[in-house]
Amino acid sequence: MSTAQEALDLALTLIPKDRTVSWGGTVTAAQIGLMDRLHQGDYQLIDRDTGKTPAEKQELMRQALTCGTFIMSSNAISADGQLVNLDGNANRVAALCFGPESVLVIAGMNKVMGDLDSAIARARQVAAPANAQRFDIKTPCAVTGSCGDCTSPDCICCQMVITRVCRPAGRIKVILVGQDLGFSGKRGIFLNTIVFPPESDPNAVRDAAAILRRGGLLGIPTETVYGLGADALNEDAVSRIFLAKGRPQDNPLIIHVPDSSWLARYCEDVPPEAYALAEKFWPGPLTMILPRKPIVPLRTTGGLETVGVRCPNHPITRAVIAAADVPIAAPSGNTSGRPSPTCIADMIEDMDGKIEGMFDGGPCAVGVESTIIDLTCTPPRLLRPGGLPLEALEAVLGHVDVDKAVVSLLKAGERPKAPGMKYRHYAPKAPVTVVTGDPAASAQYIQAHLPEGAGVICFTEYKVLFPGRSIHDLGPAADKEEQARRVFDALREFDHEAVTEIYAQCPDTAGLGLAVANRLKKAAGFHVIEV
């Protein structure tokens, strides 16, 4: 297959819907959008990540060994077709060897090595250290980036399996993709990522703009969250955003411009309301959906005839856009599905080595993504609540409809008109339960029902109810601006703690509370308890 999209289309034809489906830990399948399609489609899934305890996860991994179709990648492949795989728990290599009716292996051509020895070296020196880093495993290779042939209790390469022949014939099918997928260099990195200093130094701005002009990826600071930017008019560069994030191909991107004079460059039939909103709220956390001009590729818009446009309120990013003289397509700079980054450390955690550069612009002042308003319909429709409250929009536009995706996930087959509408977003590794209602009542409910080993996101006033628990403070119950700044940090920090699940208090939906509540509920997959 030449492209990730072609690989995705072929993979879906090879996965019957009448059989159970499971998978090993595969970055590649996520990158081509397969995991999102499975979760959104009508499949019988065995997903170990739904297990709330280590024992439940182990049981799900055992069940996966008898599934109908098992999906994985391969750490390396020799030129003569031998698959080389390392494994810590052996669930992935066990499924490859025996058990599932069929195994589907998806791999980028970057994993194909000239001979078996080179394939083994890649598995040990590239895949193993990268996976150790990804899972935060305490092995020497996670620190050094190079295999030390260790005997650590956390060793991620307890087994090495070389698959030479498939038996019975046809049980294992391999899809090779003509793109770099998965981990593609030392320590799992693609590139030597440059981190530009936190000043808008003219030379740094020039160098960052040059990265964009030559089709590279650049981490950019905004007042909302850090973004993963590319030239919005360059289809190849935009495709790299989807691969770096593991983002579904139908999830549209927002383009960033330095001021409202650029609207007419990229949008057709710009209504007066757009200029009125831009005059009042730009630069700032507002994205407007408008008809696209043909110059904006469909790859950027997720196949839509509309495009989201915003002007970020950060001097560094506006300077970079102006210097590059191209609009920047920039979703949040996190691995798809994870909490959005609000500081350079978060950006580094998810994107170091996958992109050419990133700008340190300090902590984000707002902390949740931009508000998205669709101006192609009457009345205008709120597609995503964000850093600009709905009430502020209605003061300019009058009545604004609220899209159903603000309060629930879109169903399979429904196309999103804006980022964040369809897929599970902002989620830490542990499952999340959101509790809504009066703050005192929701805190008391969590206190009474909190399982052993669970963590808590709560308002400042109620921290005293959870002694000895892992707690992240969302801010005072009445201070929604502070909650917006803290919500992603709270979700992300739990990935570094040993919690089995997370219970979160949730603000009401007035003002910025609508955006905070939306992010928490999406992180929970809309698993919400009302008290």
**d(C-alpha 366, C-alpha 226), whole Å:** 11
The model's pTM is 0.67
Which letter does DSSP use for residue 31 in this model? H
Cα–chain-centroid distance for residue 406? 18
**d(C-alpha 260, C-alpha 28), whole Å:** 39
Mean pLDDT in residue range 174-189: 65
pLDDT tens, position by position, 105-164: 999 888 888 788 878 878 887 778 777 766 667 777 766 566 666 777 778 788 899 999
pLDDT tens, position by position, 459-484: 999 999 999 999 999 999 999 999 99
pLDDT of amino acid 187: 34
**d(C-alpha 480, C-alpha 368), whole Å:** 11
SS3 69: strand
Q: Is the peptide bond before 283 cis (omega within 30 degrees of 0)?
A: yes
Q: Determine how many CB atoms are found less than 10 A away from the CB of residue 209.
A: 20
Cβ-contact 326, 231 below 8 angstroms = yes
**Residues β-bridged to residue 290:** 307
SS3 426: coil
Residues in CB range of 390: below 8 A, 6 or more apart: 371, 382, 400, 402, 514
Q: Determine how many CB atoms are found less than 10 A away from the CB of residue 318.
A: 20
- Is the fold of 4-188 the same as that of 432-530? yes
Which tokens sit at 279?
């005059």
* Listed residue (52, 43, 64, 323) closest to 196, CA to CA: 323
pLDDT tens, position by position, 368-396: 999 999 999 999 999 999 999 999 999 99
Share of the chain above pLDDT 70, in %: 92
Which tokens sit at 376?
């192609």
SS3 304: coil
Which tokens sit at 367?
């902390």
Q: Which CATH architecture has domain 432-530?
A: 3-Layer(aba) Sandwich (3.40)
Q: Determine how many CB atoms are found less than 10 A away from the CB of residue 496.
A: 11
pLDDT tens, position by position, 398-451: 999 999 888 776 655 566 666 655 555 677 889 999 999 999 999 999 999 999
Q: What's the first-to-final CA gap in the chain, in angstroms?
A: 51
Which tokens sit at 287?
């994205």
**d(C-alpha 365, C-alpha 520), whole Å:** 19
pLDDT of amino acid 190: 40
Domain boundaries, the chain: 4-188, 194-406, 432-530
pLDDT at 1 over 90: no
DSSP-derived pairing of the beta strands 381-384 and 371-374: antiparallel
- Domain topology for 194-406: DHBP synthase (3.90.870)
The total number of residues written for the chain in this structure? 531
DSSP-derived pairing of the beta strands 528-530 and 401-402: unpaired
CATH of domain 4-188: 3.40.50
